[in-house]
Chains A and B, each alone.
Chain A
Amino acid sequence: LAKTTQPISMDSYEGQEVNITCSHNNIATNDYITWYQQFPSQGPRFIIQGYKTKVTNEVASLFIPADRKSSTLSLPRVSLSDTAVYYCLVGDIETGGFKTIFGAGTRLFVKA
């Protein structure tokens, strides 16, 4: 499983766009990139997943450059309720989908 590196924490203000970058230099050909969000004392919640280029859903966008050695989670116009820990996970769905390794996530603080 590829190791991931994210910033420990980030601050933002309501209404701003937040970009959290994750480095995964050892990503393998079959690996997908997945992001989870976790609020205190709650289970992580799936946000978005991608393999290459750009993926967008109603919550966020995920940008993945051609070399796939990093990825950026983009949260448009954050609100106070987006204050949470965000985890970047990298793994092979086919052979590694049963073992999910959460690294050190990014603690996002959204201020009024």
Chain B
Amino acid sequence: AAGVIQSPRHLIKEKRETATLKCYPIPRHDTVYWYQQGPGQDPQFLISFYEKMQSDKGSIPDRFSAQQFSDYHSELNMSSLELGDSALYFCASSPYRAEQSYEQYFGPGTRLTVT
């Protein structure tokens, strides 16, 4: 079965650089979520999109922005990178409430290292 695809899987950037993470949801899933998980930390919700519109926002820094495109893929743009941004970034997708479920399907993550 198709899964959530994230690219790149690994990314190394220097401080103050920018990074773009991409997420391709499962086909027919119209909702996308982004999470950040630092070393030894629990996943932190960043932002979500439904039908290409931002649906909710969590602890996403102002330096980060995201969008969902017409084909439902999403991109997380990160600027002025800081050492503390080093983390695993997960994308998840779900069908919108159609199945009355909280079930989200997570991708393999992008490991971002800021040096």
Contacts and interface: CB of A to CB of B under 8 A. Distances in A.
Interface residues of B, number: 29
A99 B58 contact: yes
Interface string A87-112: 10101011001111111110000000
Contacts of B104: 44, 46, 100
Interface string A69-95: 000000000000000010101010110
Interface size class of A (residues with CB under 8 A): 20 to 34
Residue of A46, A49, A94, A103 ringed by the most chain B CB atoms within 10 A: A46
Q: What DSSP secondary structure best describes chain B's contact surface?
A: strand
A41 interface: yes
Contacts of A38: 43
A104 B45 CA distance: 13
A91 B90 CA distance: 20
Contacts of B58: 99, 101
A93 B102 contact: yes
Given A42-B108, A43-B92, A97-B97, A102 B42 contact: yes
A41 B48 CA distance: 21
Given A93-B97, A98-B48, A104 B92 contact: no
Interface of A: 32, 34, 38, 41-46, 49, 85, 87, 89, 91, 93-94, 97-105
